[in-house]
Structure 1
């Protein structure tokens, strides 16, 4: 998610693996009228009697995804096992995938876009790439604040972007809000990820919505003045910088922290839930979504809808919490032991569509503030 990945395609449940050309070449072919290739199948022996074997009329759902393949593939395999519907996964970063969809137009093989951040989902909708979900199941499972008002996409899991600190150097009582990290007391102690990544663009967009552009720009300028090091390319490197003593505090997504703890339970960094309490800046910790929409030119709308509905179900939501270290988007789902160990927190109740609507404004503001 935070790093560039080579475009890959993985076929499962009876679909043969094949290699892809680069997005640019495929886009060019699509513009000249190339058609979706026919499904390729092979006979496999069912090893698990609980699996539902794909039937002759079970059409493959082709997903264009910017999600980490290792994280999402087990969920897709479980869906196929339960439904008998094969899934084909094509992965790349969000920008190239959306450019590819634009180039392929009505000739795209894609049925579904699965990506991170509401800002990316909003952009896909604005570009005319998606069609309405038309799903009462999704509307029932996903709170309205986590899907688009025009029904073009829905969140499927939550990630909290909050404050992390070195407990050997920082007393948590000295921490409070994102805005407080602009205070001179943090000069030479703050680490940030680059503003070029959508996660920080969405955070700043939410601050603009709550605090106004002028106040937000002052805060971002304060962040820049307090930097202990040049901005980092990803959250993992930022967290490692805190652990190594390069800085004392930083802002990152909680699931990156969870994955590090899986590998190193004694990792010397702690989590602090930002913007709790009362007051104008205590709006709750910023949360964002990973989510999905049905491609406007999909020739398997029903299959894509079934998959999105399944990903919003109790089964899939529980797996997001236990395997991916993300918070379930559906209410009432039991969280993993790790997520519970971080304590409960007040979430920002803002509708996540705002992150897309204010994205351009956020990017311009960060540029003016010198946030690279």
Structure 2
């Protein structure tokens, strides 16, 4: 696996005709992909070349066009997955293996991308100041009883936009705007920082409830400087009234150019296998999507939940309107 700043050049110089290989562009970090790529190479003998990008993935693929060396793209968040589809830089993949391993709600209806792991957007609640029975729905978080007790990162961050899009899907524009206004009124401080910073704020007594993604709990419990923060909160799984707990996703898509299409398909199918699913989910404390596979023991210790069953591309269709509402209520103001 080739890393560092030369990765793009190395991919461009690769010769598919002379080597059994597959080339990836990834927004996911090296430490998350390395166990997977190593396992895939060991199982198949196919070399994996990875270019790790921090931004500009769609623009790069558009600029490279049919000459792109990339076979697959890895990313997180439904907004990014829908963006690569809308940009026309991916291709549909027909595979009975993928359709069996990836439930319909976790893949593009046109088979342009397939989910690999999920993360729930949940409530981190103070063990000292919040009775877990009080936090059962997302709707309830806008109740005035939480006035001055809630904290979160920016409302315009993709994780919160996706949550607002899910609320919009369930309740429509008028109720979603009222909900966002209620959340804003309940904030203990101006939205700031990342999800871990919200848990720190609960630990410090700045607020009592924080919105965050589940996998941050695993990361904090494995960081000596943050264990105390993590141990100060309960992980609670709110649901939408008439629905389930909101999830977002990490996924993979095959590029339109894909010079090593056969190898790329083999890797996609491998990534949804029980072996790879458990490796991937363990690496970042996420939930595997393949039926019959299990999350890491630490993740399971936080409790079970019923996931909202909406197809995530439907949420992507509501994203622009959700962002408009967030900005209209001046959530971060």
Q: Same fold (TM over 0.5)?
A: yes
Give the superposed CA RMSD. 2.1
1:238 Cα deviation after fit: 1.7
Query: Please, which of 350, 359, 369 is the counterpart of residue 319 of structure 2?
Result: 359
Aligned equivalents of 2:150, 2:81: Cα separation in 1:
30
Structure 2: 5+ residue runs without aligned partners?
A: none
Aligned equivalents of 1:199, 1:309: Cα separation in 2:
27
**1:257 aligned counterpart, secondary structure:** helix
Q: Deviations over 1:82-110 (max 9, x none)?
A: 111111111223x5211221222222221
Query: Please, which of 250, 268, 271 is the counterpart of residue 232 of structure 2?
Result: 268
Aligned equivalents of 2:205, 2:63: Cα separation in 1:
46
**2:46 aligned counterpart, secondary structure:** coil
Structure 1: 5+ residue runs without aligned partners?
A: 1-9, 12-16, 27-34, 41-55
Native 8 Å contact 1:166 1:249 kept in 2 = yes
Instruction: Within 5 Å, give how 1:250-329 maps onto structure 2.
Output: 250-263=210-223, 267-275=231-239, 281-329=241-289
Query: Please, which of 179, 192, 205 is the counterpart of residue 152 of structure 2?
Result: 192
1:36 correspondence with 2:4: no
**2:13 aligned counterpart, secondary structure:** coil
Aligned equivalents of 2:183, 2:322: Cα separation in 1:
15
Aligned equivalents of 2:74, 2:200: Cα separation in 1:
28
Structure with a larger share of its residues in helix: 2
Q: Deviations over 1:139-188 (max 9, x none)?
A: 11010111011111110111111111111111112212112111111111
Aligned equivalents of 1:73, 1:140: Cα separation in 2:
25
Native 8 Å contact 2:35 2:279 kept in 1 = no
TM, length-normalised to structure 1:
0.83
1:19 correspondence with 2:9: no
1:164 correspondence with 2:124: yes
TM, length-normalised to structure 2:
0.92
- 1:89 maps to which residue? 50
Q: Indicate how the Cα distance of structure 1 residues 232 and 92 shifts in structure 2: closer, same or farther if over 3 A, else same.
A: farther
What is the count of residue pairs matched by the alignment?
Answer: 327
Aligned equivalents of 2:207, 2:67: Cα separation in 1:
49
